[in-house]
Amino acid sequence: MSTFEEHRSLLVAVAYRILGSVADAEDVVQEAWLRWSGVDEAGVGDAKAYLVRVTSRLAIDRLRWAKSRRESYIGPWLPEPISTAPDAAEHAELAESVELALLVVLETLSPLERAVFVLREAFDLPFAEIAEIIARSEPATRQLARRAREHVREKRPRFDVDREQRRRMTERFVNAAAEGDLDTLIAMFADEITMVTDGGGKARAALRTITGAQNVGRFLLSIGRPANLARFLTSVGLSQGEDISLGMAVLNNAPAIMISGAGRVVSVISLEVRDGKISTVYLMANPDKIAHLEPAASEAG
Give tens-digit pLDDT for 2-56. 999 999 999 999 999 999 999 999 999 999 999 999 988 888 889 999 999 999 9
Give dist(CA 231, CA 260) in Å, integer. 16
Same domain, 132 and 259: no
* pLDDT top residue among 157 and 217: 217
> Does some domain include residue 85?
no
The per-residue pLDDT for range 77-126, each reduced to its tens digit, is 999 999 986 544 444 446 678 999 999 999 999 999 999 999 999 999 99
DSSP, collapsed to helix, strand or coil, labels residue 210 as strand
Give the CA-trace dihedral at 289, 291, 296, 298, to 10 degrees.
110
- 128, 155, 182 - which closes a domain: 155
Look at residue 98 and tell me if it is in a domain.
no
On whether residue 294 sits in a domain, the answer given is no
Instruction: Answer yes or no: are the C-beta atoms of 84 and 239 closer than 8 Å.
Output: no
Give me the CATH number covering residue 137. Answer: 1.20.140.160
H/E segment holding residue 241: none
Same domain, residue pair 35 and 146: yes
Closest CA to 174 of 107, 258, 244: 258
Domain presence at residue 14: yes
Q: Are residues 142 and 26 in the same domain?
A: yes
pLDDT tens column, 41-82 = 888 889 999 999 999 999 999 999 998 888 899 999 999 999
pLDDT at 301: 43
Q: Are residues 136 and 175 in the same domain?
A: no
Q: Where are the alpha helices (DSSP H) in the chain?
A: 3-19, 22-37, 47-70, 92-96, 100-106, 111-117, 127-134, 138-155, 163-178, 182-188, 213-223, 226-235, 287-290
The reply to whether 168 and 149 lie within a common domain is no
Burial class (CB in 10 A: 0-12, 13-18, 19+), 82: buried
Domain count, the chain: 2
Give the pLDDT confidence score for residue 131 in this predicted structure. 98
CATH of the domain at 262: 3.10.450.50
CA separation, residue 298 to residues 196, 245, 291 (Å): 25, 6, 18
Cα–Cα dist 17/43, whole Å = 29
Three-state secondary structure call for residue 237: coil
- Asked, for residue 275, whether it belongs to a domain, the answer is yes
**121 lies in which domain range?**
5-75+106-155
Closest by CA to 270, choosing from 161, 147, 129, is 161
- 49 and 173 assigned to the same domain: no
Per the prediction, the chain carries an average pLDDT of 89
Alpha-carbon distance of 119 to 131, in angstroms, equals 11
Pair (9, 150) in one structural domain:
yes
Higher-pLDDT residue of 241 and 7 is: 7
Shared domain for 180 and 43, answered yes or no, is no
Q: 136 and 243 in one domain?
A: no
Same-domain check for residues 146 and 218 = no
**DSSP character at residue 194:** E
Task: Examine the domain organization and report whether 217 and 201 are in the same domain.
Answer: yes
Residue 159 — very low, low, confident or very high, per pLDDT cuts 50/70/90?
low
Same domain, 185 and 149: no
From 146-150, 194-198, 213-217, 295-299, the region with the lowest mean pLDDT: 295-299
